Amino acid sequence: MMRGKASLRWVSRAVVWAAACLSAVLLMASSARSQNGSGPTKPKAMSIPEVVALVKPSVATIMTRGVPPNPFQHPSPPGSGSGLIIDDKGYILTNNHLVEGTRNVVVGLPSGKLMPGRVVGRDFLLDLALVKIEAKDLVAARLGHSSTLQIGETVVAIGTIGNPFATKGGSIVTIGVVSALDQAILPPNGETLYDLIQTDAAINPGNSGGPLVDLSGRVVGITVAVAPSAQAISYAISIDAAYPNIQSMLVRGAVLRPDLGFVPVTVTPSVAASFNLYVDRGVLAAQVEPLKPAAQSGLQDGDVITAIDQTQIYNMGDFWHTFLQAGEQFPAQLTVYGKNGQFSELSLPRVPPPQASR
Catalytic residues: 97, 127, 208
Identify any residues that bridge with 143 across adjacent strands, giving them in sequence order: 219
Residue 134 DSSP SS3: coil
How big is the chain, counted in residues?
A: 358
CA atoms of 344 and 305, how far apart (whole Å) = 10
Strands (E), the chain: 59-63, 80-85, 91-94, 104-108, 114-123, 128-133, 154-160, 171-185, 193-199, 211-213, 219-226, 234-238, 263-266, 283-286, 304-308, 311-312, 332-337, 343-348
Identify any residues that bridge with 336 across adjacent strands, giving them in sequence order: 305, 344
H, E, C per residue of 236-303: EEEHHHHHHHHHHHHHHCCCCCCCCCCEEEECCHHHHHHCCCCCCCCEEEECCCCCCHHHHCCCCCCC
CA atoms of 350 and 333, how far apart (whole Å) = 10
How far from 178 is each of 109, 110, 146, 201, CA to CA, in Å? 28, 27, 11, 9
Radius of gyration of the chain (CA): 26
